Chains A and B, each alone.
Chain A
Amino acid sequence: EDQVTQSPEALRLQEGESSSLNCSYTVSGLRGLFWYRQDPGKGPEFLFTLYSAGEEKEKERLKATLTKKESFLHITAPKPEDSATYLCAVSAGTASKLTFGTGTRLQVTL
């Protein structure tokens, strides 16, 4: 059974204070690892897809990395607008069904 565990559950940062979110996974035949951002009352918004160990993707202050067992979402010099829940998911098999973690709630304060 595919499993995704995210840590920490919640993270509070001051503006400019860099940190990392963790996503550890077990899956048979990884097809892709996905990061999403979810704002309160809205649907998940796609951020990144990673396909193989060693791959990295960047977007503004966010950088996602992948190893064979886990992924990190690094947030550099965050701003209050980065406050959201960040979701990690893995897919396997031809139908690309996603298995999600429970997310990390990030709050960035001034």
Chain B
Amino acid sequence: NAGVTQTPKFQVLKTGQSMTLQCAQDMNHNSMYWYRQDPGMGLRLIYYSASEGTTDKGEVPNGYNVSRLNKREFSLRLESAAPSQTSVYFCASRSTGTPKDEQYFGPGTRLTVT
């Protein structure tokens, strides 16, 4: 099993450009999440999808959109990139039901907006 995969690994954008970050999991998990990680801020939730066909806002959703394409895939789109969106983006998925409630993370996408 590959677990959670993310593409691309690195990306540089100019202000105003758009892009889509891709995430896929092969663990048959229902829930998927997008986080951003900034120095001194910790990981913050952008959007999540509790199940296929549903998406909800997290703590910092402004400037982002998401699509739960199917059970495996959850993409994050930046429509008009801004320097404040320079960050490391992590996708995660979760098995459901106690005790297996932990989230598993991908390797991250490092995004720089100039």
Contact = CB atoms under 8 A, between A and B. Distances in A.
Interface of A: 4, 31-32, 34, 36, 41-46, 49, 51, 87, 89, 91, 94-98, 100-103
Given A100-B42, A100-B43, A43 B106 contact: yes
Tell me what chain B mostly uses at the interface: helix, strand, loop, or mixed.
strand
Contact of B99 (A4, A42, A49): A49
B40 A91 contact: no
A49 B101 contact: yes
Given A95-B50, A95-B56, A103-B42, A42 B98 contact: no
Contacts, number: 59
Contacts of A94: 50
Contact of A46 (B43, B56, B98, B104): B104
A41 B10 CA distance: 11
Contacts of B44: 100
Given A43-B90, A43-B106, A44-B90, A96 B42 contact: no
* Most B-side CB within 10 Å, residue of A41, A43, A44, A100: A43
B105 A95 contact: no
A98 B92 CA distance: 11
B42 to A, nearest CB: 4
Given A34-B103, A95-B31, A98-B45, 17 more contacts: A32-B98, A32-B102, A36-B105, A41-B108, A43-B105, A44-B90, A45-B105, A46-B102, A49-B101, A51-B99, A97-B45, A97-B58, A98-B33, A98-B43, A98-B103, A100-B43, A102-B40
